[in-house]
Amino acid sequence: MSEYVNITIDDRQIKVRAGEKLLWAALDNDIYIPHLCAIREKERPNAGCRLCFVEIEGDTRPATSCTRTVEDGMVVRTRTPRVDRLVKTAFELILSDHNLKCRECPANRNCALQTIAKKRGIKLRQGRFKTIVREFELDESPDDFAFDRSRCVLCGQCVWADREVAKTGAIGFANRGLNRVVTTFRDRPLAESNCAKCTFYADVCPVGAFYYKKAAE
Amino acid sequence: MQLLEGEKELILACVDEVLSNNSKNRENLIPILQKVQVRLGYLPPLAMEKIAEGIKVPPADVYGLATFYNQFRLNPPGKHQVKVCLGTACYMAGGDITLESFERRMKIKESETSPDRLYSLERVACVGCCTMAPVVVVDEEVEGKVTPTRVDGIMLALNEENDKSNLEQEPEQGRMDSDELK
């Protein structure tokens, strides 16, 4: 097997490393595919955000590009009516319980959700699903950063950074369904956990859930 | 939840035994939690921490798993356990109002235990007698058509029973002393 394979994404011929996942192959070649939960180094992708759908010629249904390995001669479309519909629905569901006070958010103009909305022409204020506003206590216990769960999209980037980069294991997912949150053991404030007080969380958060206190001022 | 006297030692011994009888793999986390819960009646934080230590996963993961599944309880079972059915029929008949009444009366939320460990409140999904909706199971007794007024009656009966067992001055083994109950 050769080291590189040729694939076609949106009529563009590109040469990518064999074994690469479709999502990263596209992003490396400046072809935009929305994504939140994808982590390049992670062997088994979460595939939880359901935003990176593409249509692959020969497949009966759209596939998540973060889980598909490139194959020689693959023909991929990033925008088809079916893909757009799936992405729009997934995006609107994410937004339905997201705190949309963008003006108060430190990630304003630097937010993955705003990028996706702009690139795909989807409104941030969706009206299709019932809006769920949840009250969370703001965790400002660490010195440099804070955690506002009302802005969290549960992408898992911070949990990954916590486990694989910081190697602490201070945070994880808890509860189920609509109550699912990123939290510490027994919901303690971050400063009371074994959180190493590093700022990885704030660095990797694609939205404004983990943020630097300085940036918020 | 405050641990009772001697409970800490009991938890540590139980976790030690379960861990030594099971291979300490991540895949074994659920069976280990189940076995610990069968013995202790619930999963105290101390047990979760010790289990996490034993099988070398972050405590946050054990907590995540224990909160994901309904079968794991994080609070000790109370002396009187009240289960409010919120299955379809009971929900339609106002089971949520019944649950709320109990929450107010017991001053705890669903899935919690009162600090004196007298009462614990749970929500369940269908106990199999939908014609009696909304249904509540108090200890082993099934109560049908439970309105908020009936909740008051149930609580009154339970309180009376507690007072009586206090008067008899017979603290059961492993339970709190009667003067601590008040």
pLDDT at B181: 47
**Chain A residue closest to B49 (CA)?**
A185
Of the pLDDT bands very low, low, confident and very high (cuts 50, 70, 90), residue A64 is very high
CA distance A158 to chain B (A): 13
Interface of A with B in 152-171 (CB under 8 A): 163, 168-171
Give pLDDT tens digits for A17-55. Answer: 999 999 999 999 999 999 999 999 998 999 999 999 999
> What confidence score (pLDDT) does residue B16 get?
94
B33-81 confidence digits (pLDDT tens): 999 999 999 999 999 999 999 999 999 999 999 999 989 999 999 999 9
| A186 CA: distance to closest CA in chain B (Å) | 7
Q: Cα–Cα distance between B48 and B11 in angstroms, integer?
A: 10
Q: Which residues of B62-73 are buried (b: 16+ CB within 10 A; e: fewer)?
A: bbbbbbeeeebb
Tokens linked to A94: 């994410």
- Reported CATH class of domain A97-216: alpha beta
Q: Do A174 and B57 touch (CB under 8 A)?
A: no
A200 falls in which pLDDT band (50, 70, 90)? Answer: confident
Domain map (residue ranges) of chain B: 7-68, 80-181
How far is Cα B35 from Cα A66, in angstroms, rounded to an integer? 38
CATH 3.30.70.20 maps onto chain A at 97-216
**Cβ contact, residue pair B59, A176, below 8 Å:** no
Q: Would you call A195 an interface residue with chain B, using a CB distance cutoff of 8 Å? A: no
CATH number of B80-181: 3.40.30.10
Q: Which residue in B44, B30, B36 sits closest to B16, CA to CA?
A: B36
In this structure, CATH architecture of domain A4-92: Roll (3.10)
pLDDT per position as a tens digit, A93-140:
999 999 999 999 999 999 999 999 999 999 999 999 999 888 899 999
- Amino acid present at B172: E
Whether residue B61 and residue A172 make contact (CB cut-off 8 A), yes or no, is yes
Instruction: Please state which architecture CATH assigns to domain B7-68.
Output: Orthogonal Bundle (1.10)
**Closest residue in chain A to residue B60, using alpha carbons only:** A185
Torsion over CA: A11, A13, A14, A15 (sign): positive
CA distance B171 to B182: 13
N residues, chain B: 182
Q: What are the start and end residues of each CATH 3.10.20.740 domain in chain A?
A: 4-92
